[in-house]
A and B are shown apart, each in its own frame.
Chain A
Amino acid sequence: MSEVAENAGRLDVAAPAIELIGISKAFGSVQANKDISMTVAKGAIHGIVGENGAGKSTLMSILYGFYKADSGSVKINGVPTVINDSHDAIAAGIGMVHQHFMLVDNFTVLENVVLGAEEGATLGPSLRKARKELKRLADEYELDVDPDALIEDISVGFQQRVEILKALYRQAEILILDEPTGVLTPDEADHLFRILRNLKEQGKTIVIITHKLREIMDVTDSVSVMRRGEMTKTIATSSTSPEDLAEAMVGRRVLLEVNKSPAQVGETVMEIVNLSVTDAHGVKRLKNVSFELKRGEILGIAGVSGNGQSELLEVISGIGAAQSGEVRMQGEAIDISPKANAGMRRARGIGHVPEDRHQRGLVMPFMTWENTAFGYHNEPEYSKGFGLANQKYMMQDAREKMERFDIRPPIPQLIASSFSGGNQQKIVLAREIERNPDVLLIGQPTRGVDIGAIEFIHQQIINLRDAGKAILLVSVELDEIQALSDRILVMFDGVIQGERLPENTNEGELGLLMAGVDPEAKA
């Protein structure tokens, strides 16, 4: 008798926390999810890996009610559950931390936590209750945040905690995190994983979406791999390897290493001297940054995003201005006042592959032949008399660039937004590299780019280096920095926190530098 009851109880407990059955979703003509089924056991940490655009975020957004599936069903704790919107998901005990945080910047932490979970029409009682609850949660899970701080004033690491707190405040039993470590230092990421393990011990179920295989290996119990909208594999983490996962992601063996010969470093091309930048809000973004860039080297700048790398690229590329300091090109100071513009830099032989190709590097509704001349459109070869553009040449030039950089489909009349992320990035690279610049600034070269294109792009960067050009590479992907750079600078809070040679350092040391700690000073 008691045994039966126990069994029944066990059966109930054994019901998976999440069961997705035959989920499909199309955006216009793109099939983002194809007939996906997945099960996650209660109290497990489950990882979902896949390339950009594999459909991971879409799948989880469906679970969270942010998107509606075209077909398929969901069971939560064994109970069929219809999730039409996030309200239903929250009611079913699901919480989600989106890749781009869903916080109101000019609200306090407390207001953000309360938003949508208010009790009654006036705010007072809800705020008081939430303040107490936050205190309790902070103590329980190492989730300290000042409840009265404005979101815009706290770091992304803290913002992420607010997102987790929001979910816990709504009594989520299932927590989904989309690319949670993209904005964190390795140290902060470790802290996050501690929190997650802690939550797991309390019986919560956790799903992590990531493209970083190491994290999967470190923290998850089981893992699913997605490729082109399909789920190709689900396996216990202990019985797989990063290589296997990578192969399952891409569908073929992948080189995780980059092949390159030792750098033939030449003379200094560019010197940055005591460069300082203060933004419109009066915040110092760059503080007395100095370094040199030499011919034939790739100088990598590591750091968590938002630590001054973007401002550095902006000043050197002529998009932004600096308040003090100097940028010298071949010994000659260049104008870094607000009067400067990006055109002047191009004239000095400085090319720029910007961090954000959607907003900066390309004009999305422009056709490829218009984009392949963008920024150089006033050069003589693209010009005719009377201010006219030489469209015939622009077209021919685009065709050649598309062929050399294997941009598919090779049709110059297609608009930029109709290409995949990788091909879009190749359009930008083709344009900048083919101008043969003395210095090429590259920001996040492989963000949102599929693995196949990553190899190609890395090879192009190395070829340019081998041709004796100087390359300044900014990336938040530590792997990429380590693989490509001949020399690494780490930025933290607008300061060069340290310089290392890739062969003499490791991820741990770089991670500490990225968090503002100098390991040598400590020792």
Chain B
Amino acid sequence: MNKNLPKWVDLGLIPLLTLMLAFAVSGLVVLSIGQNPIEVVKVMIQGAFNPFGIGHTLYFTTNFIFTGLAVAVAFHARLFNIGGEGQAGLAGVGVALVMLSYDWPHWSIALIVGTVAAMAFGAAWAAIPAYLQAKRGSHIVITTIMFNLIAGALIGYLLVGPMQAEGSLPESAKFPSAASLPTMYDMLGWFGIGFDKYAPVNISFFLALIAAFLVWVLIWKTRLGYEMRAFGHSEKAAVYAGISPLKITMIAMLVSGALSGMMAVNTVQGEAERLLLGAVEGAGFIGIAVALMGRSHPVGVVLAAFLFGILTQGGAELQFTLGIPAQMITVIQALIIMFTGSLENMVRIPLEKIFLNAGKRGRA
């Protein structure tokens, strides 16, 4: 990416420094609402890693791996998919529909069916903005945001209308229990290892890791990934090479939507086992921060997702212990997007100067 900087600076030092800046400013925000940042960090770490918390941390991490990968895949084709929220929401509808339509005999079948449904619905919800971008030149950022809002209205309608279970709550019926996905407690239990019985983290966590590996293969090892990256760097060059912009835009967004959608396997199928209102809870947006921090590389995405898992679970603990609203995490997320994304040059430009001068001295 940059000729003047060694790779370890570009991929290691810069993200680290920008992250520290984001945390430093977050600390100021904490101070300004009358809290002690050190206390806050303690509470968050404690909350995220205690035996009860870690199961939640990994549960959130799972969500963010999916949505982070979704944003990252689109980024490679220079598409900014802000629609993870809506895509994951619709995927939840898809999961609920297949889970409620049939008594799946075993969790393994339910997992496959649920995953396929989640991917299909998530991809479908991404398909329209993708097509409009490729064919009509509509700004994908705004259309995907609109599709988030439209998805919200649609799900709201479904949960007080056609899909509402008996009772007055806006939620679907509970899924048949034979299809329940194994939780971490269950899985570790197979090997005789103990874990928090009520922790929401489930088999989807491994699904997320597999997805990360497959995304790595797709982007860096396949010809399709090569075409996506070429298109992302220069649309004109892609056309010259016979790569269809329509095809790449559609595929990148479908893959992206499907990855966002897979989050529903974790939340709707794995945890809630019914469709609830607001099931996505901002994870689609957090995917943006995760992808930016992770430099759109699957390894980076998994690490960044873990960080956000810690923040989210720690943030819940903050609310519980110190009464700080969960929006604290939204602020930290915004600051991370800002510092690792748009304000990155604040760190990069001085570093480039330092390395340039060091290089000159080295040669002299």
Contacts and interface: CB of A to CB of B under 8 A. Distances in A.
Q: Do A and B come from one complex?
A: yes
A374 B230 contact: yes
Interface residues of B, number: 26
Interface in B310-360: 352, 356, 359-360
Given A359-B234, A360-B236, A364-B233, A387 B242 contact: no
A486 interface: no
A343 B241 CA distance: 7
Contact of A28 (B4, B227, B240, B241): B4
Nearest to A391: B221
A359 B236 contact: yes
A359 B227 CA distance: 15
B224 interface: yes
A346 B242 contact: yes
B3 interface: yes
Interface string B1-22: 1011000000000000000000
A375 B242 contact: yes
B244 interface: yes
B138 interface: no
A29 B352 CA distance: 11
Contacts of B361: none
A389 B224 CA distance: 9
A342 B241 contact: yes
B136 interface: no
A386 B222 CA distance: 8
Contacts of A352: 240
Contact of A418 (B3, B221, B237): B3
Contacts of A370: 226
Which of A362, A363, A378: most chain B Cβ within 10 A? A363
A445 interface: no
A319 B242 CA distance: 8
Which of A341, A364, A383, A418: most chain B Cβ within 10 A? A341
A342 B230 contact: no
Contact residues on A (Cβ < 8 Å of other chain), bracket:
35 or more
A366 interface: yes
A361 B240 contact: yes
A344 B1 CA distance: 32
B241 A377 contact: yes
B360 A341 contact: no
Nearest to A386: B222
Interface string A348-374: 000010101001111111100010001
A345 B244 CA distance: 14
Contacts of A360: 234, 236-237, 239-240
B242 A29 contact: no
B241 A29 contact: no
Interface in A311-351: 317-319, 341-346
Nearest to B242: A343
Contacts, number: 81
Chain B, interface SS category? helix
B237 A417 contact: no
A377 B224 CA distance: 10
A29 B240 contact: no
Contact of A363 (B221, B234, B244): B234
Contacts of A382: 223
A388 B221 contact: yes
Contacts of A344: 242
B240 A366 contact: no
Interface in A275-322: 317-319
B237 A342 contact: no
Interface in A13-68: 28-29
A389 B356 CA distance: 36
B316 to A, nearest CB: 40
A318 B243 CA distance: 11
A443 to B, nearest CB: 11
Interface in B205-238: 217, 221-224, 226-227, 229-230, 233-234, 236-237
Contacts of B223: 377-378, 382-383, 387-389
A21 to B, nearest CB: 24
Nearest to A340: B242
Contacts of B226: 370, 377, 389
A374 B230 CA distance: 9
Contacts of B224: 387
A389 B241 contact: no
A29 B356 contact: yes
B242 A366 contact: no
Contacts of A28: 3-4, 352, 356
Contact of A318 (B230, B236, B242): B242
B193 to A, nearest CB: 35
Contacts of B229: 363, 366
B230 A363 contact: yes
Contacts of B1: 365
Contacts of A361: 237, 240
B73 to A, nearest CB: 15
Contacts of B227: 377
Given A28-B3, A361-B237, A378-B223, 13 more contacts: A28-B356, A29-B4, A318-B242, A319-B239, A341-B244, A342-B239, A342-B240, A359-B236, A360-B236, A374-B237, A375-B242, A389-B221, A389-B223
23 contacts: A28-B4, A28-B352, A29-B356, A29-B360, A319-B239, A319-B240, A342-B240, A359-B236, A360-B236, A360-B239, A363-B233, A365-B233, A374-B237, A374-B241, A375-B240, A377-B223, A377-B226, A377-B241, A378-B223, A383-B223, A387-B223, A387-B224, A389-B223
Q: Which 10 A-B pairs have the closest CB atoms?
A: A343-B242, A375-B241, A342-B242, A360-B240, A359-B236, A387-B222, A341-B242, A363-B233, A389-B223, A363-B230
Interface of B: 1, 3-4, 217, 221-224, 226-227, 229-230, 233-234, 236-237, 239-244, 352, 356, 359-360
Interface of A: 28-29, 317-319, 341-346, 352, 354, 356, 359-366, 370, 374-375, 377-378, 382-383, 386-389, 391, 417-418
